[in-house]
Amino acid sequence: MGRSHSSSAQKRKKLYISYNDSIETIAFSPCCTSNDVRELLIAVCCAPHNSSLKLVDNQGHLVPISPTLECNTPEKPYELLVTTARRDSIMEIKKLVANMGQIFERIVECNGNHEDLIKKIEYLESQLQVEGFQAIELEKCKNDLMKLKCKISDEFSLTRVQVHVTTPSSAKRDVPLYPKSFLLYHLRKWNGICYEFIYSPFCLKVSLKILQKAVQKKYRNNPFHNFRHCFCVAQMMYGMVHSCNLQNKLSRKDLGILLTACICHDLDHPGFNNTYQINARTELAVRYNDISPLENHHCAVCFEILADPETNIFANVDKEEFKEIRQGIIDLILATDMARHGEIVQHFKSVAKNFKWDDPTHIKQLQAIMIKCCDISNEVRPFNVAEPWLECLLEEYFTQSDREKCEGLPVASFMDRNKVTKPTAQIGFIKYVLIPLYETLCELFPEIESTMLQPLKDAYVYYESKKLEDDLAKDDHNRNKTCQALLDEKHELERRLAGAEKTISNLAVVVTNSDNTSTKIQ
């Protein structure tokens, strides 16, 4: 302890200062600041703190006032020069009077703002009260909507149509007798036995399993346009044929054309629609001159499969009949182009009221409208089946729109992930495309109204309620944001008001002090 104290004392710096012909001594440690040294010098000369200090060494040079000053001796002290600030009383009074004028102006201005701030706060309080009442009404609407949603869920059910199929006398092999149930299928399995009845007149030399493998190999792994989609379309066609009793109205050839077109209608689909093909000037668009490039490509791949003897299910028909089958399949696959939707529906409407089963033109128009119905039939199915398909379709749409944005191509609003929701995607499509399409078919087959048209109307009601629910949730969110903004503005105004009141109080104190100072000067 003694050594440490001695060492600390040795480190202290001692300086000799000359002031008013007397020698003063100051001492400080190296850890002191320049302000500490200055305070010591002020103590030496007993000058005010606002005085100007100068330190001159024995050679007459100004030196900085800092702890780094070199030690000196009494014979060579530092000379301390002090300059005391002077006050001009008249100038101070003039400045004081000018400041008082500015203070009075600020007081008047603050008084005016004070009233405006009070009015704004009162307005905000009334607005918050109104928003609170609207929030109560919004909660009531949400409760009513939930009741409606539960009611729709309870009433929504799947109607099953039992159809018994008998074996025709001309069948080439035994066909099992079993009940066919509408909408009975599984997404992951190929239910080939369902098609044996339709294909039986063609005396098949190949197994349907071989055809299935060849077709499945030509479908890409897209989110929507894949092999499972082709199976669903073919299954829906099979159910529609039996629901409308077409097995007793159409020839086996026409039924085979229908089913084969369904199986092959999206072969090798790239996952990007015709609009993209044309805008991007793809190889398919160039090859088919921008005329239904995808549908033409599906046809080409279809007959590429049928050209192989191992998969040609029509190998036993003669050339003329195969020519008719080929043309029928081509016409039906081309009919799935949605760009021709209005044209095909109008043609069928013109013959639906006076439909003739012996007129080949009427039959072709019926086949076209049926494959269109089956191609976009997901919303006919139960909701738990339809919704996953909608998600797959939107995923494919979003992938295309993202690519179009990257390539600088036009983007359809119904494909933009930033603009589309499930309800907005389906409401217009169901209302303006699906329901009119199935209503047209119901004019000829009223028996499918309950099994196909009604589920579409139920789906429309569901998505409308879903959209209303989303809109209410969005409005609720916006109202909450508005209320929060109003509260924030109110708090800001209150803060400003408190600041203004504090400023007024401070200014009043300054004015009082100024008056006292003026009185003393006088």
What pLDDT, on the 0 to 100 scale, is given for residue 167? 44
Contacts with 143 (C-beta within 8 Å, 6 or more apart), sequence order:
none
Q: Which one is predicted more confidently, 214 or 508?
A: 214
* Residue of 124 and 286 predicted with greater confidence: 286
pLDDT band of 477, cuts 50, 70, 90: low
26 within 8 A of 44, measured Cβ to Cβ? yes
Higher pLDDT, residue 192 or 32: 32
Taking the C-alpha atoms of residue 293 and residue 290, their distance in angstroms, rounded to an integer, is 6
- 130 against 224, higher pLDDT: 224
Q: Do residues 139 and 476 make contact, with C-beta atoms less than 8 angstroms apart?
A: no
Residue 190 has pLDDT above 50, yes or no: no
Residue 230: predicted pLDDT: 92
pLDDT at 276 over 50: yes
Task: Tell me the C-alpha distance between 245 and 447, whole Å.
Answer: 10
AA letter at 482: T
pLDDT at res. 508: 65
The mean pLDDT of 123-139, rounded to a whole number, is 64
Taking the C-alpha atoms of residue 258 and residue 261, their distance in angstroms, rounded to an integer, is 5
Contact 466, 473 (CB under 8 A): no
φ/ψ region of 252 (left if φ > 0, alpha if ψ in -120 to 50, else beta) reads: alpha
Query: Residue 504 has what pLDDT?
Result: 73
Q: Is 266 annotated as a binding residue?
A: yes
Residue 341 has pLDDT above 60, yes or no: yes
Q: The tokens of 31 are what?
A: 């850890």
pLDDT band of residue 175 (cuts 50, 70, 90) is very low
179 has pLDDT over 60: no
| DSSP-assigned letters across all residues of 167-234 | PPTT-SS-----EEETT---TTS--THHHHHHHGGG--SS-HHHHHHHHHHHS---SSSSHHHHHHHH
Contacts of 383 (CB under 8 A, 6+ apart): 156, 459, 462
Residues 429, 454, 248, 370: what is their CA dihedral angle, to the nearest 10 degrees? 0
What is the pLDDT, as a whole number, of residue 363?
A: 96
Mean pLDDT of the residues in the chain: 80
pLDDT in tens, 96-113: 777 777 777 777 666 666
CA 196/CA 174 separation, integer angstroms = 10
Task: Please write the tens of the pLDDT for every residue from 64-90.
Answer: 888 888 888 888 888 888 876 555 555
Confidence of residue 54 (pLDDT cuts 50, 70, 90): confident
Q: Which of 5-9, 22-26, 81-85, 185-189 has the highest mean pLDDT?
A: 22-26
Q: Decide if 271 contacts 223 (C-beta within 8 A).
A: yes
The domain 2-83 is placed in CATH, from the list 3.90.480.20, 3.30.2010.30, 3.10.20.90, 3.40.50.850, at 3.10.20.90
At how many degrees (to 10) do helices 454-521 and 435-444 cross? 160
Which is more confident, 471 or 377? Answer: 377
Look up the pTM and report it: 0.57
What pLDDT sits at residue 499?
Answer: 72
Q: Which two tokens stand for residue 281?
A: 């000037």
H/E/C letters for each residue in 147-184? HHHHHHHHHCCCCCCEEECCCCCCCCCCCCCCEEECCC
Please check the confidence at residue 41 and state whether its pLDDT lies above 50: yes
For residue 473, the model assigns a pLDDT of 73
d(CA 80, CA 481): 67
Instruction: Please count the other Cβ atoms lying within 10 Å of the Cβ belonging to residue 210.
Output: 14
Is 228 annotated as a binding-site member?
yes
- Tokens, residue 202: 């063609």
Rounded Cα distance, 291 and 287, in Å: 9
Instruction: Say how far apart CA 277 and CA 439 lie, in whole Å.
Output: 32
Q: How far apart are CA 363 and CA 156, in angstroms?
A: 34
225 is in an annotated binding site: yes
The segment with the largest mean pLDDT, out of 16-25, 44-53, 190-199, 468-477, is 16-25
255 CB-near residues (< 8 Å, 6+ apart): 198, 241, 246, 247
What does the pLDDT read at residue 182? 33
pLDDT of residue 130: 60
Is residue 320 scored above 70 in pLDDT? Answer: yes
Task: Assess whether pLDDT exceeds 60 at residue 239.
Answer: yes
Under DSSP, the state recorded for 433 is I
Specify the fold of 161-379: Catalytic domain of cyclic nucleotide phosphodiesterase 4b2b (1.10.1300)
- R_g of the chain, CA atoms, integer Å: 46
The answer to whether residue 212 scores a pLDDT higher than 60 is yes
Please check if 426 is assigned to a binding site.
yes
Decide: residue 418, CB within 10 A, 0-12 exposed, 13-18 middle, 19+ buried.
exposed
225 among known catalytic residues: yes
The response to whether 273 counts as a known ligand-binding position is: no
Residue 226 known to bind ligand: yes
Residue 9 in contact with residue 15, Cβ under 8 Å?
no
What is the pLDDT, as a whole number, of residue 446?
94
Residue of 49, 225, 362, 477 marked catalytic: 225
Q: What is the mean pLDDT of residues 431-437?
A: 95
- Tell me which of 106 and 444 has the higher pLDDT: 444
Q: Please give the average per-residue pLDDT across 172-176, as a whole number.
A: 38
Higher pLDDT, residue 165 or 434:
434
Does the pLDDT at position 503 exceed 80?
no
| Angle, helix 252-264 to helix 360-375, in steps of 10 degrees | 30
Q: Is the pLDDT of residue 488 over 80?
A: no
Euclidean distance between CA atoms 187 and 385, whole angstroms = 10
* 112-120: long-range contacts, CB 8 A cutoff, minimum separation 24: 113/500, 114/497, 114/500, 114/501, 114/504, 117/493, 117/496, 117/497, 117/500, 118/497, 120/493
The pLDDT of residue 183 = 33
Q: Residue 175 and residue 135: Cα distance in Å, rounded?
A: 65
pLDDT at 189: 44
User: Is residue 362 predicted with pLDDT exceeding 90?
Assistant: yes
Q: Read off the pLDDT band of 33 (50, 70, 90).
A: confident
**Which residue has better confidence, 137 or 356?**
356
Q: In the predicted model, what is the mean pLDDT of residues 292-316?
A: 93
Mean pLDDT, residues 56-70 taken together: 84
- Identify the band that residue 217 occupies on the pLDDT scale cut at 50, 70 and 90: very high
Give the highest mean pLDDT range of 117-126, 390-399, 495-504, 506-515: 390-399
Nearest CA among 352, 379, 390, 386 for reference residue 368: 352
Q: In the predicted model, what is the mean pLDDT of residues 160-181?
A: 42
Does the annotation flag 290 for ligand binding?
no
Is 516 annotated among the ligand-binding residues? no
